[in-house]
Amino acid sequence: MAHLVLGYPSLAESLHTAEAYINAGVEILEVQIPFSHPTADGPVITLACQEAVAQGISMQDCIEAIRALRARFPMQEIMVMSYVNRIYAYGFQRFVTEMKAEGVQHLIVPDLPVDLSSALGSADATVKFVPVLAANTSDARLEKLLNMGFDFFYLMSDFKITGSGFSLHPRLQAIVAKIKSRPMPPRIGIGFGISTPAQARLVLEEADVAIIGSALIQAQKAGKLEEYLESLQDVFQA
């Protein structure tokens, strides 16, 4: 799964970036709605968000960008990530309806505990929220979330913010095993701090999906996005 911030460095360029990801063969495109204060992100994504916000990217702009991507790539799996206040300002139900119309099946809202997603008026069986868990999630909590029918679990590689060095917390294996022990196991993605192909391969030994964000933005900033995507080719094939 490859992450980008809509509107960074501009709306048109972020759409080109998405195309580059998809053409390189990423399985899932993760599109982040920019927010002024991304509370769980590291400096790279925070800066990208703030630059996008400074251009006045509205929710309508974001939805139209997703629509354009959908039109171009009808079969591409797209997950949308947003902090909760942008969705709140737009209206939860309205947002979920729009996402459904664009064939987005997963929403990642890092500051919204997934249990609350339906209470906020966003219940829709075809658009699922993605629990973002770390190694300190208790067994009872994991059990509860598994019973709630979420079909994609996003695991934080370790206790850190995005883009801040790579390590895999030893307890993740147990969490992965518990999720995989289900009869119809949800997919598992692992992210936070993955930057090299070797790290991505290591993650794929545990998870179905390796998630790369900050490293892509840094490569793009350095004008080396194509080279970087090329270096990940065997990961995409895996």
Partner 1 sequence: MIMDLTATRYRDLILDSKGGFGTPNPQPYGGSYIPEVLLPGLQEIAAAFDHFKYDAGFLADFSDTLRTFSGRPTAFTPLPRLTEAIGGAQIFLKNEGLNHTGAHKITHCIGQILLAQRLGKQRIIAETGAGQHGYATAAVCARFGLDCTVYMGKKDYERQRPNVYWMELLGTKVVAVEEGSQTLNDAVIAAFKDWVANPDSYYLLGSAVGPHPYPAMNTFFQKIVGEEIRQQCEETTGRLPDYCVACVGGGSNAMGMFFDFLDEETVQLIGVEAGGRGTKPGEHAAKVKRGKKGIFEGYHSYFLQDEDGNIAATHSVSAGLDYCGVSPILAFLADEGRVQFETASDEAALAAVKKLAQLEGIIPALESAHAFAYAFELAAELPKDKIVVVNASGRGEKDLFITMRHFQEDSLIAYAQHLLQK
Sites of contact with partner 1 (CB under 8 A): 35-37, 39-40, 42-43, 46, 50, 53, 57-59, 84-90, 92, 110-114, 116, 119-121, 131-134, 136-138, 141, 156, 159-161, 164
| Closer by beta carbon to partner 1, 179 or else 229 | 179
| Closer by beta carbon to partner 1, 114 or else 188 | 114
Query: Smallest distance from the beta carbon of 159 to partner 1, in angstroms?
Result: 5
Between strands 209-210 and 106-108, the pairing is unpaired
Going by the DSSP 8-state scheme, the letter that residue 116 receives in this structure is: G
13 is catalytic: no
51 is catalytic: no
Nearest to 67 by CA among 11, 27, 24: 11
Which is the catalytic residue, given 30, 98, 158, 208?
Answer: 30
C-alpha to C-alpha distance for 8 and 45, rounded to whole angstroms: 10
Going by the DSSP 8-state scheme, the letter that residue 9 receives in this structure is: S
Query: Smallest distance from the beta carbon of 13 to partner 1, in angstroms?
Result: 20
Give the three-state DSSP class for 153.
strand
| Closer by beta carbon to partner 1, 111 or else 205 | 111
C-alpha to C-alpha distance for 148 and 6, rounded to whole angstroms: 30
Which is the catalytic residue, given 41, 98, 206, 208?
Answer: 41
Query: Smallest distance from the beta carbon of 39 to partner 1, in angstroms?
Result: 5
Complete DSSP assignment for 168-204 = --TTHHHHHHHHHTSSSPPEEEEESS--SHHHHHHHH
| Closer by beta carbon to partner 1, 136 or else 233 | 136
Query: Smallest distance from the beta carbon of 60 to partner 1, in angstroms?
Result: 9
Question: Quick one: how many helices (H) and strands (E) in the chain?
Answer: 11, 9
Residues annotated catalytic, as ranges: 30, 41
